[in-house]
Structure 1
Amino acid sequence: MSTSTNPFQELEQLFERMNRQFEESSRSWGADSPLTRWTRGFEEMAVDLIEHDEEFVVTVDLPGYERDEVTIEVTDHTLRIEAEHEEEAAEEGENYLRQERHHESMHRSIRLPDEVDKENVSARMKNGVLSVTLPKLEVEEARRIEIE
């Protein structure tokens, strides 16, 4: 019996690896690089994925983001997290000598090792740390079929 792989799953994993490598290399370019404006928004989202007996727990550092700025989606074996700040207009009349604070967006897709019960996923956020609990889906044992 051969096991078939999902080509879209392999592509998604390839893009995740490429994204991480791009993020790592872009950090070395520095603030004065011509690509700095283009790479803004590709900030790294630090993620921990822990497996317990009956659930997965994903912990994500999102300093400076509020609950209403974070979106979580679960599909099949993938958890997608997006965090986006609303752009604030600079105060008119302010004479900035230096302005380094920027509002940015981040996103990350995490491939989960097993299927999860999408209906019972829960999330909480405290002090810029997001915790997502994903209960594992109970997989039924294979049933043998008698051939007539």
Structure 2
Amino acid sequence: MSGRRNPFKEIEEMMNRMSRQLEGSMGGEGMAQFGGGGASIDVADRGDEFVVTADLPGYQKEDIDLTLQGDRLSIRAERERETEQTDEGEGRYIRKERRHESVNRTVTIPEEVDEENVSADYRNGVLTVTLPKRSASEGDGHRIDIS
């Protein structure tokens, strides 16, 4: 079964390519100009684990939602910022701006991971997710007796 094509994976790869092209054509800003988009992500294979690093500057740990579903790691972050300038004499608004910002990225992990031992750390605007690989002996398979 592993030799079969997965059309959903091909569609996801095509969407990722289109997203990168859009970001490139907009001077690297991409969808972030429109209040949503992607974060810069690195995925490293360290032998016995995968390490995913995402740049999320300006977000708080509480703003980030991280989920692992099967072979897909989803990173979502949202924040709202409000800027206010007032006339100190009368206290009325001269300018008040509100902005909603979000990023959303999904990464396909190429091998099965040990979901129970996944860990994440967020420091100085960088999210690091460590996903230990599942060994063959930890799989869901079982021995089949031949009669």
TM-score (norm 1): 0.75
Query: Which AA in structure 2 matches 1:41?
Result: G
The number of equivalent residue pairs is 140
Query: Which AA in structure 2 matches 1:67?
Result: K
Query: Which AA in structure 1 matches 2:95?
Result: Y
Unaligned runs of 5+ in 2: 87-91
Aligned-partner SS, 1:85 = strand
Shift of residue 147, structure 1, vs aligned partner: 6.1
Name which of 116, 120, 144 aligns with 2:117.
Answer: 120
| Structure showing the higher strand proportion among its residues | 2
Distance 1:78 1:38, change over 3 A: closer
Distance 1:96 1:80, change over 3 A: same
Q: Which moved more, 1:70-79 or 1:10-19?
A: 10-19
Are 2:62 and 1:68 equivalent residues in the alignment?
Answer: yes
- 1:1-148 to 2 correspondences below 5 Å: 3-27=3-27, 39-86=33-80, 88=82, 90=84, 93-96=92-95, 102-140=99-137
Unaligned runs of 5+ in 1: 31-35
TM-score (norm 2): 0.76
Aligned-partner SS, 2:130 = strand
- Separation in 2 of the partners of 1:82 and 1:147? 48
Maintained 8 Å contact 1:117/1:134? yes
